[in-house]
Chains A and B, each alone.
Chain A
Amino acid sequence: MIPEIGHFALALALALALVQSVVPILGASRGNRLWMRSARASALGQFFFLSVAFAALMRSFIVSDFTVRNVVENSNSLKPMLFKVAGTWGSHEGSLLLWVLILTIFGAGVSVFGSNIPETVKARTLSVQAWISVGFLSFMLLTSNPFERVFPPPIDGNDLNPLLQDFGLAIHPPLLYFGYVGFSIVFSFAVAALLEGRVDPAWARWVRPWTLAAWMSLTAGIALGSWWAYYELGWGGWWFWDPVENVSFMPWLLGTALLHSAIVTEKRDAFKSWTILLAILTFSLSLLGTFVVRSGLLTSVHAFAVDPERGLYILMLLAITIGGSLTLFAWRAPTMEPGGLFKPISRESGLLVNNLILAAATGTVLFGTLYPLFLEAVTGDKISVGPPFFNASFVPMMLPLIFVMGAGPYLSWKRADLGGVLQRLRFVAGLSVLATLVIWYLTEGGPVLAYVSILLGFWLFLATLREWAMRIRLFDVPFGEAMRRARNLPRASYGMTLAHAGLAVVIFGFVGSSAWKSEQVVFVKPGDEISIAGFDVTFEGVEQVRGPNYFADRGKLTVRRDGKEITVLYPERRSYPVAQSQTTESSIRSTLAGDLYASLAAPTSEAAKASGAWTLRILYEPLVFFIWLGAVLLIVGGGLSLSDRRLRVGAPRRTKSVPVGSVPAE
């Protein structure tokens, strides 16, 4: 009964979406306010019905209702409760349901919080959002119904892929989807603006909070995914340039560009058609991600079960959404009047360089990701493009970006005083070089690129701090006065400082853990000792342990430094009998200075197993913790910026007193 309610709720949501995709937009062109306002009810209604459907599916997972095919295929009665809940979005159908749920959350969000948006823009935006809803709801109902029953019901389910039975990965998809799908509303805003034929600073201000929210979630989702890969896959790496990682990274790169170009549109009324294009492309790349993961187009470790029929349907959706919006762009964008002029040395130029580099980097990642497909189509050769391509092409592109990032905030709008900026940055540059020399002395050798990256990391970090100090005139005025200024600084400015500093921290993590990593793969018998990066690790042996739905071989490693015991690591190798697969659970001693990482591989043969010999992978990755620390700074920075008064979307009472609606409603 409950699954049928869920199914029915989906159908009702589709009906509402159909209404919403026509009525408000017609109302906007005819000036019918009632029709325009109907969007609010239908957007909230869609959100309600999707919540009902989602809750129905989640209930089926929680009570292990094995009459539902999706539950049978992705759950098991022995699975811990957290993963039963997470199983709701562990499959193609369930994750699609989550996707559409988030789509409706953003639609409902705009209709509730967007009280400062003119009614025509809001109506058009919500109609466009409903077009996307219609596409994906019909896709779900026609090809991927999550509520399909199975008869006769089996006694137990097939269990969720054990690799996915992990806390980090349980919350990774929702965050990632909030990011992906969050860009949908930005897309809808862009299409609405094109239909309206007008983009102005106010438009940029409405779009920015949604972009920020989506960007923050995407950052968190990607960081979590990389953290998961780091400790779960047992290779000690945090990024593999896998196609699915790339498709989540591309919207992030373009989304970052969009965040910055929207600032220019907001402050200077420039970069208008570019901002619109970025908004369209960012969401297009999110859709591309959805398509690649679900169509089996590229080879990847993450892909869902492949079904060509579904692939074709999504490709059709993509063609309509992306093709349609870009056609509209080609038609309308040239008519947009260009905005404020600026000199080559100015904040605008800095942000332009930022945008060009980010767009070029996105293009590079896109090309590298799709190149195997292109080549196979043209010549029939099959190749795979791996980390060497991306490291050689993407990393050097980022270096100038980091440089500009450090200097950019010093530049003033329109025309900057280059001499003054150079003077302010002299000290920062000197200190960065000095710090890098110290690192060079301490590390005794390493790749040149690593030192250049470290130098730029210091540059960005120090320049960001210096810029903050300059704003509050630290050391120029009495300390109390500087603190008062610090309190009065807008939150958006703190957001920028934190996010930029966060990226510098991330860079230290990237460089430290890739350039100065030590790794050993050894065969060990109980009692063997391994020395790595100043640690002496003793392999004590392996014991069998039992979990709720798995068995595990758990190794015990005693770690000593200078003869003193500092910790014990317990890497595991788990076997999930129902899902018939194994996972490695690495054991990590994490400190700010670096991670000592141990993972256990299967015994090489029966004979080796009998004698107690195991393959052990031990790594020392300096500074790797900084990657996630920096990601947290990025997210907190985004959050601070989002909570800035200027953008606060959820505070209609306050925004009424501030003349935000500089553009009168039509």
Chain B
Amino acid sequence: MSRMIALVPLLIAVVVGAFFLWGLDPDRNPNAIPSVLISQPAPDFDLVQVEGLDVPGFSRADLTGNDGPVVVNVFASWCVPCRAEHSVLTGFVERDGIRLFGINYKDKPADAAAWLKELGNPYERIGSDFSGRAGIEWGISGVPETFIVGPDGTVLYRYVGPVVGDKAIKTFTKALVQAQALKEGQS
């Protein structure tokens, strides 16, 4: 009996070691968090407009049947990086003419309206996700997050975190070009 118990630590170590061996695969990147949504239809949701703004809300239906891809950005007035990202997204809209929809995540409508009044509104449509329900459907891990949705309503790309700084903007621009939201060489 005690002989069996004395073997237990060894067995546990062997099992853990096997996992380590598997984990050492050089092709494995523990930092990458893939989205299960990629190449899947955008989730079902229906968001009303943000009170105090004259921008319509949107639902899944508004993501299909467009003539080009749409960028869906999850933002909130309480989110500090969103403020930094705002000018970048505005730049994409004004310069490159991308279509930008916003999901206003867990935000008071009055705060969101004041925020957009201060910084300007690049969004064509903004849905108010006060309950955070749509955020769950989209599987976001934090704010901000940005998705590119193809004309048929398929999620093509997901960017976690603010699109701020040269490297992030380059990555995101590349994704936009791939999704044909931008033409090659533009921006």
Contacts and interface: CB of A to CB of B under 8 A. Distances in A.
A530 interface: no
Contact of B87 (A280, A297, A334, A605): A605
B16 A329 contact: no
Nearest to B141: A384
A331 B34 CA distance: 45
B9 interface: yes
B16 A370 contact: yes
A373 to B, nearest CB: 5
Interface in A515-539: 521, 523
B136 interface: no
A291 B7 contact: no
Contacts of B80: 521, 601, 604, 615
Which residue, of B13, B22, B34, has the highest number of chain A Cβ atoms within 10 A?
Answer: B13
A445 interface: no
Contacts of B32: 382
Nearest to B88: A605
Interface string B10-27: 100110110111111110
Interface string A386-423: 00000000000000000000000000000000000000
Given A296-B30, A308-B26, A382-B34, A377 B19 contact: yes
A333 B26 contact: no
A273 interface: yes
Given A308-B26, A374-B19, A382-B32, A323 B14 contact: yes
The bracket for how many chain B residues form the interface is 20 to 34
A19 interface: no
B131 interface: no
A607 interface: yes
Which residue, of B22, B23, B80, has the highest number of chain A Cβ atoms within 10 A?
Answer: B23
B7 A330 contact: yes
Nearest to A378: B19
Interface of A: 273, 277, 280-281, 284, 291, 295-299, 308, 311-312, 315, 318-319, 322-323, 326-327, 329-331, 333-334, 370, 372-374, 376-377, 382, 521, 523, 601-602, 604-605, 607, 615
Contact of B3 (A334, A607, A615): A334
Given A319-B17, A323-B13, A329-B6, A604 B24 contact: no
A311 B10 CA distance: 21
B30 A298 contact: yes
Given A382-B33, A605-B84, A607-B87, A315 B6 contact: no
Contacts of A323: 10, 13-14, 17
Interface string B80-104: 1001100100000000000000000
Contacts of B20: 291, 295, 297, 315, 318, 373
A604 B30 contact: no
B83 A604 contact: yes
A280 B12 CA distance: 14
B186 interface: no
A327 B6 contact: no
Contacts of B83: 523, 604-605
A374 B33 CA distance: 16
B17 A315 contact: yes
B7 A377 contact: no
B156 to A, nearest CB: 20
Main secondary structure on A side of the interface with B: helix
Contacts of A333: 2, 6
Given A297-B23, A308-B24, A604-B80, 13 more contacts: A277-B9, A281-B9, A291-B20, A295-B20, A296-B30, A315-B21, A329-B10, A330-B6, A330-B10, A376-B30, A601-B80, A604-B84, A605-B87
B24 A330 contact: no
Contacts of A319: 17
Which residue, of B2, B10, B30, B87, has the highest number of chain A Cβ atoms within 10 A?
Answer: B30
Given A298-B30, A323-B10, A377 B2 contact: no
19 contacts: A299-B30, A299-B31, A308-B25, A315-B17, A315-B21, A322-B17, A323-B14, A323-B17, A326-B10, A326-B13, A329-B6, A330-B10, A334-B2, A370-B19, A373-B19, A373-B20, A376-B30, A521-B80, A602-B84
B22 A377 contact: yes
Contact of B6 (A273, A299, A615): A273
Nearest to B22: A377
Nearest to A605: B87
B24 A284 contact: no
Contacts of B87: 605, 607
Contacts of A308: 24-26
B102 to A, nearest CB: 18
Given A377-B19, A604-B84, A327 B24 contact: no
A602 B80 CA distance: 11
B10 A284 contact: no
Given A277-B9, A604-B84, A312 B24 contact: yes
Contact of A330 (B3, B21, B84): B3
B73 to A, nearest CB: 16
A492 B32 CA distance: 50
Given A277-B9, A605-B87, A372 B22 contact: no
A319 B32 CA distance: 28
Which residue, of A323, A331, A334, has the highest number of chain B Cβ atoms within 10 A?
Answer: A334
A334 B22 contact: no
B89 to A, nearest CB: 12
Given A319-B17, A334-B2, A605-B84, A373 B10 contact: no
B7 to A, nearest CB: 4
A114 B92 CA distance: 71
A326 B14 CA distance: 10
Contacts of A277: 9
A280 B6 CA distance: 13
Interface string B163-187: 0000000000000000000000000
A295 B2 contact: no
A374 B12 CA distance: 13
Contact of A329 (B9, B26, B84): B9
Nearest to A315: B20
Contacts of B21: 315
A295 B6 CA distance: 30
Nearest to A617: B80
A374 B23 CA distance: 9
A362 to B, nearest CB: 12
Given A296-B30, A297-B20, A297-B30, A284 B13 contact: yes
A334 B1 CA distance: 9
A415 B124 CA distance: 77
Contacts of A601: 80
Which residue, of B9, B20, B26, B80, has the highest number of chain A Cβ atoms within 10 A?
Answer: B20
Which residue, of A322, A376, A604, has the highest number of chain B Cβ atoms within 10 A?
Answer: A604
Contacts of A334: 2-3, 6
B52 to A, nearest CB: 21
B8 to A, nearest CB: 8
Contacts of B22: 377
Contacts of B30: 296-299, 372-373, 376, 382
Nearest to B28: A376
Ranked nearest first, the 8 interchain pairs of A and B with the lowest CB-CB distance are A326-B10, A308-B26, A299-B30, A330-B7, A333-B6, A330-B6, A334-B2, A604-B84
A307 B87 CA distance: 38
Contacts of A330: 3, 6-7, 9-10
